[in-house]
Every structure is written in C-alpha cells, then in structure tokens.
Structure 1
Amino acid sequence: MARILVLEDEERSREALRNMLCHISADITVNTAADLAEARLLLHGTVSFDLFLLDVNLVKEDKEDSSGLIFAEEIRSIIKYEFTPVVMITSVASLEIEAYRRIHCYQYLLKPYSEADVQAVVKKVLSHVRAEEKPYIIVKKNGINYKILCEEIVFCKAIPRGLCLYLKEEKMEVPYLSIRQLMEKLPKQEFFQCHRMFAVNKTYVKYYDLVNQMIQVEGYQEKIDIGVTYKTEIRRLLNE
C-alpha cells in the first residue's frame, strides 16, 4: 500500500492526475490538495505519505510564483519526510535546477505530461520506497541527519558525551545520544543490551562467553562486555 499527496491548484489537472495514479495500482491511495492550506492540513494529519507530487506554480497569474517549492521545504523540515521522494510538476523548465538544489526533489514532470510519463516516474519511485521499507534510524551529527538501516548496525558503545555505532563498513560517532535513547529507536526483536555501555545486533553475534562475561561479533576484534545485571537476559537469549 502506498499513499501519495498531490498538490495541484487546477481542478481538471488535479483530477486527471489522481486518475492516472489510481490506474497504476489498486494499492495506491491518493490525497489531493488545491492550495497550500489544504496541503498543510494533510501534511500534519494522522496519515503518512510515501510520495509527494507538487505543482511548483500555484498562482497562475504570477509567473514568478513558486509556492510549491515553499511547501516542499516544509515537507523536508519534518524528520520523517526528510528522505521521502518529492516530484515537482511545472511548465517552467528553468525552475528545475532550483528545485533540485533547495529541496532535493526526486524528479521532474514537465507540463504537458502524459499518463505514460506519470506512471513511469511513480512506478520507479515506489519501487525504491518498497526496497527501503527495512527498519532504519535517523541520527544527527554536525547538524546533518543520517538515515541508517538497522541491519547495518553490528553493535554500539557508549563514549563520552555520546555513542559510537559500529557499522558493517565503518564506525560513526554520534554526540548527545545515549544507549537508552538508541534502544528506544531500534527493533527490540533484533537488538539487546548486554552492558550499560553496549548494545548488540543478534545477527552478528559469533558467540557468548558467560564465563569470561564477553561477546564476540563478526567483523570486529573488540570484546563486548556482559554486565552482571544483564547475565539473566543473555541466558534467556541463549535458550530461545
């Protein structure tokens, strides 16, 4: 199931676009907005969107209008939509570079577009959306938000004023994030805490050593301590 928000002020174009999208699949739900006010109500409502199709120019009598870009920036200011695909619709090709620079739009639809054009873009976008349905977390470092797939995290370790994520291919230090806060974000069925300073992805555990109170994981030589208060939980994991 995918949900798409369409922002288009022209009624005929709006309904035509809705029909084109619905023809792609019965699993697609389309919400439409005729102006910024309606779009904002949908954006901050109870449902989540997998794709945004936004007309750049919502005030046709003003050739310099780019209120669709304003809404795109509002979308990007919401953490859960920071990486959600945005496709801009316009009759002014020169706005393309500006859109890519400011809000990192996924692609462009230049008016007049055909149903084949719309369906090709949307099918491609949704194929990526489905591929990215794996669990992930978003962490902030140096003012930049990073999207990290949970399956890429081998283990994490508390460090002064933050923690270090030990990923499959690299290490990443994240300031002002605690083990407890991270555990609240991670899938509980995949991760466990074994020490006040360590949390581990079950998938990468090579062995548990309860005698020496340590865990060895794939890809790293570093020994991960098992805290005394966590021994019972580790035994439970071993008996699953």
Structure 2
Amino acid sequence: MAQILLVEDDASASELIQQYTEALCGKHQLTIFSTATAALNWSNEHSVDLFILDIQLPDYRGTELGKQIRTISRYRFTPILFTTELAGEELGAYREIKCYDFLVKPFTQEQFANAVSDALDMGKQMKKTVPVLRIEQKQFLFEYGLEQILYIESFGKKAVIHSISQGKELDDQISGYSLARLLEMAGPGNLLQCHKSFLINPIYITKIDKGSKTLWLKNCKDTIPIGEKYQHNLRERTI
C-alpha cells in the first residue's frame, strides 16, 4: 500500500481524484490537503510515497511547494505529479523540481491510473538504488540518503546524526540505536567506525593526521577523533 498525498483546493477535483484512487489496483492511502502549508507540515511528520500537487493553491503555488518538498532529505527522489489547467507550465517544473509527470485537467481515469502506476513503480526503483538509512523514533520516521550523512556520534544510549542539506550541517538526536546497529543498517563500506563513539562517511574525508589521531570531513566544522582500536579502518586512506 502506498501513501499518496494530494494537495488540491478544488473540492470537486479532490473528490474525482479520490474516486480514481479508490479504483486503482492495490489499496492506497490518499491524504488530502487544500493548502500547501498544511501539506508540508504533515509530510514532515509522515512518510509519503507519491505527491500529487495542484499548481494553483490558495496560500502559494504548487511548484513552490514542490521545491520545498525536495529540500527534505527523504523526499529528494520521491515522485511528484502536478495537476494543472495550463500545459505551458510543464517545462519549468520538470527542470526545477524534477517532477515525474504532469496531468493536464481535465484528465481521464485511465490517464490518472497510468501516471500514478508509473510514478509509484519509479519510486520503488529509486528506493532500491539510492542507499537510505531509515530511523524510527516513536511517531516519526527519519530517512537519510547515505550521501548526506557526515558522521554519527554516540552518547550512551543516544546518538546524534550529523548530515548535510543544501550546504548546511544538520543535527538530529536519536535513541534506541547502537553504532554497531547503524553500521550494519548502512551496508558495507558506506560508513566507517573510526572511534568507539564515532561513525564517519568516508566520502567526506579531507585530511587524516595520524600523529594527533584526528581527521577532518568536508562541510564539517569539527574534527573527529581516531581511536587506536579503529585505525585499521583508515589504512587505505591517505593523509
């Protein structure tokens, strides 16, 4: 079952899309909002498999909402469908937001079904090919593209995931995950343990000082310690 988020302020259009969704093969959950602000807030707290966005919304444009969705790490590759009455807006959205497709109103049930099916299939393939670390925290699910993780620091039963998004370093505190478990979840070679309290992303290493047993990561203001027990993990890395 896929979670589909529809943002549409026209009640009749929302009702029609709900009917089309209920007719699809497979039981999909459709959540509907009439404003971009409410939809963005909800998507930050839930996991969405497909976004269907109307271009004209009461608070701001659907294309602007699409840009905001793309800044959320777990939605960088989530398919977005736009609905609009103005076919000429297609090219700009494809380029700027990398939306999957456009549905020009009025569209048929067959056109809707084909677009949704293709978009969900593409989304499944992207999840297989893009390494993602999924962290469950009570009512929340955090997803990190592994290429966004700088390092993970452990503090007893808690850990802090340091990631990079749009050139800014972000810190998220999590609980219930040991470094050993996170290392296993990341998959072979994606993260390295350099200290009893640190996992690092090797693609960001810029400098290793074996004398002071520290290393530097790109886009990271802090230095990372190297534990003697873990020096062998860095042997193939140059200073």
TM-score, length of structure 2 as denominator length: 0.58
Post-superposition shift, 1:109? 0.8
- Determine helix, strand or coil for the equivalent of 1:138: helix
Q: Is the CA contact (8 Å cut-off) linking 1:8 and 1:33 kept in structure 2?
A: yes
- Write out aligned runs for 1:87-106 (5 A): 87-106=81-100
Tell me: CA distance 1:11–1:81, structure 2 relative to 1, closer, same or farther (3 Å): same
Q: Structure 2: which amino acid aligns with 1:195?
A: Y
Within 1, Cα distance between the matches of 2:10 and 2:124? 30
User: Which position in structure 2 is the counterpart of 1:39?
Assistant: 39
Post-superposition shift, 1:99? 1.0
Matched, 1:195 2:230: yes
Tell me: CA distance 1:53–1:141, structure 2 relative to 1, closer, same or farther (3 Å): closer
Matched, 1:49 2:85: no
Structure 2, unpaired ranges of 5+: 133-145, 149-163, 169-184, 195-199, 204-216
Q: Is the CA contact (8 Å cut-off) linking 2:53 and 2:80 kept in structure 1?
A: yes
Post-superposition shift, 1:93? 1.2
Once the two structures are superposed, what CA deviation does each residue of 1:18-56 show, in whole Å capped at 9, x if it has no partner?
2212221343111001122332332233x2101100000
Within 1, Cα distance between the matches of 2:117 and 2:188? 27
Q: Is the CA contact (8 Å cut-off) linking 1:157 and 1:164 kept in structure 2?
A: no
Q: Is the CA contact (8 Å cut-off) linking 2:8 and 2:34 kept in structure 1?
A: yes
Structure 1, unpaired ranges of 5+: 60-64, 166-173, 181-193, 200-213, 215-221, 224-240
Q: Give the number of the structure whose alpha-carbon radius of gyration is greater.
A: 1
Q: Is the CA contact (8 Å cut-off) linking 1:155 and 1:198 kept in structure 2?
A: no
Post-superposition shift, 1:195? 2.8
Post-superposition shift, 1:155? 7.5
Within 2, Cα distance between the matches of 1:143 and 1:154? 20
Q: Structure 1: which amino acid aligns with 2:230?
A: H
Post-superposition shift, 1:83? 1.4
Q: Structure 2: which amino acid aligns with 1:20?
A: Y
Tell me: CA distance 1:99–1:154, structure 2 relative to 1, closer, same or farther (3 Å): closer
Q: Structure 1: which amino acid aligns with 2:15?
A: E
User: Which position in structure 1 is the counterpart of 2:5?
Assistant: 5
Tell me: CA distance 1:48–1:38, structure 2 relative to 1, closer, same or farther (3 Å): same
Within 2, Cα distance between the matches of 1:100 and 1:74? 15
Q: Is the CA contact (8 Å cut-off) linking 1:4 and 1:50 kept in structure 2?
A: yes
Post-superposition shift, 1:94? 1.4
Tell me: CA distance 1:94–1:29, structure 2 relative to 1, closer, same or farther (3 Å): same
Higher relative contact order by CA 8 Å / sep ≥ 6: 1 or 2?
A: 2
Within 1, Cα distance between the matches of 2:98 and 2:21? 22
Once the two structures are superposed, what CA deviation does each residue of 1:32-81 show, in whole Å capped at 9, x if it has no partner?
01122332332233x2101100000125xxxxx96111211221121111
Within 2, Cα distance between the matches of 1:29 and 1:106? 20
- Write out aligned runs for 1:132-143 (5 A): 132-134=126-128, 135-136=131-132, 137-139=146-148, 143=167
Post-superposition shift, 1:152? 7.9
Q: Is the CA contact (8 Å cut-off) linking 2:192 and 2:202 kept in structure 1?
A: yes
Q: Structure 2: which amino acid aligns with 1:10?
A: D
Post-superposition shift, 1:176? 5.0
- Determine helix, strand or coil for the equivalent of 2:31: strand
- Write out aligned runs for 1:1-240 (5 A): 1-45=1-45, 47-59=46-58, 67-134=61-128, 135-136=131-132, 137-139=146-148, 143=167, 153=189, 164-165=202-203, 175-176=218-219, 195-196=230-231, 198=233
TM-score, length of structure 1 as denominator length: 0.58
Q: Structure 1: which amino acid aligns with 2:147?
A: I
